[in-house]
Amino acid sequence: MELFFYNCLCQDLSRGEDNISGAYQEAIRRFEIIRGQCPALKEVLVPNDIWNDFRSSVFAQGENVFHQHILLEAYWRGELTQLTTPVHRYLIDSGRRRTRLNKNHLKDLREAWAPQELRANQGQKVRAFWGRLTELHVAEWIEKRGWTISNLEAWGGKLDIECTSPDQTECAIEVTSIISEDMDYLIDMNQLNRQGVPGTMSPYQASNFVLWRGLEAADKLRDCEKSRISCFVVSEEIWHAFEPSLRESWGLWDTPRFIEIRPKIQHAIQRNNRIDPENRDKLKRLISTLNAIWIVQKSLRLELSSHRVFSFTEPPLSPL
């Protein structure tokens, strides 16, 4: 894929000042200048139809705004490039938003979050934003390693990523983004610990969560005739909570079972009537439709690195 955005203003940004007190309004004005010249920001992430409300909202919030908006925090930390580059690469064509893009993707990538929306639905909105962006990050990551992208759900495709591996195997990848907002699936808010404080964590909930999301990926890919890959992208900040389950994942995938499911995960599983948590044979058959499972870590600087590959084919389907 030919790239034409390396001269965009968003591609050459350094970290902001460590002390933002008294300088945040000027930083927002600099962000406004960048946004006016960056198609990824102007056409997709904060387009014209939401910009005035976005601008008014952030000026009204004070210096804490940098911790309340993903784009502004990334700009302040010098990491805006990591957000805009995949948008440039896959959603922008000749300086304009590509035609026939998935409307749900565009909606989820718009950071049109007023303060009251942040309080009411922050977790859901943040999950949706990172889920869509992570699909583009994975596409960029594998393309740089010799894979060829043929279609994206963002382009109107049925699956997250359709691609061809370096050995010419046609594949479909379902991307699962796991971020800090997913920690509430691991915490039981309906029970109290010995001190009467809600939020105790069961040691089984991380494996239950990963298995549930793996089954969802397998279910979405079940009718695909290409090689099927489930790709988990886990943020570095919560890697510690999931790493034990991921390290022992052969047992998780070879003999899949849920253990002491807590209410929130149970409710999420029940939304898909094709996943029966009590039928271990059915769970095994569904997982076995996958050809590979990739476990990928996303660093605090939004860089991806492969940590584990479970491939059920020869030669192995690996991202590297």
For residues 74-88, give the mean pLDDT: 90
Statement to judge: residues 149 and 42 lie in one domain: no
- The residues facing 304 across adjacent strands are 298
Q: How far apart are CA 42 and CA 34, in angstroms?
A: 9
Domain end marker among 113, 140, 162: 113
Residues 149 and 290 in one domain: yes
Average pLDDT over residues 284-299: 93
**Per-residue confidence band for 84, with pLDDT thresholds at 50, 70 and 90:** very high
Domain boundary among 89, 113, 137: 113
What pLDDT is attached to residue 68? Answer: 73
Burial class from Cβ neighbours inside 10 Å (0-12, 13-18, 19+) for residue 318 reads middle
Whether residue 295 sits in one domain with residue 179: yes
Q: 119 pLDDT exceeds 60? A: no
**Residues 311 and 207 occupy one common structural domain:** yes
Number of domains observed in the structure of the chain: 2
With H, G, I as helix, E, B as strand and everything else as coil, classify residue 172. Answer: strand
- pTM, two decimal places: 0.89
Same domain, 88 and 129: no
The mean pLDDT of 30-43, rounded to a whole number, is: 92
Percent of the chain with pLDDT over 90: 47
Domain range enclosing 133: 122-320
Tell me the angle at which helices 24-37 and 48-61 cross, rounded to the nearest 10 degrees: 170
Q: What is the pLDDT of residues 301-312, one digit of tens each?
A: 889 998 888 888
Output Rg (C-alpha) for the chain, integer angstroms.
21
Same domain, 108 and 126: no
Residue 164: HSE in the Cβ half-sphere, 13 Å Cα cutoff: 5
How far apart are alpha carbons 98 and 308 in whole angstroms? 34
Instruction: Give the domain-ending residue among 64, 87, 113.
Output: 113
Residue 252: enclosing H or E segment and its boundaries? helix 249-254
Question: pLDDT tens across 225-278, in order?
Answer: 999 999 999 999 999 888 877 766 656 888 899 988 888 888 888 888 889 999
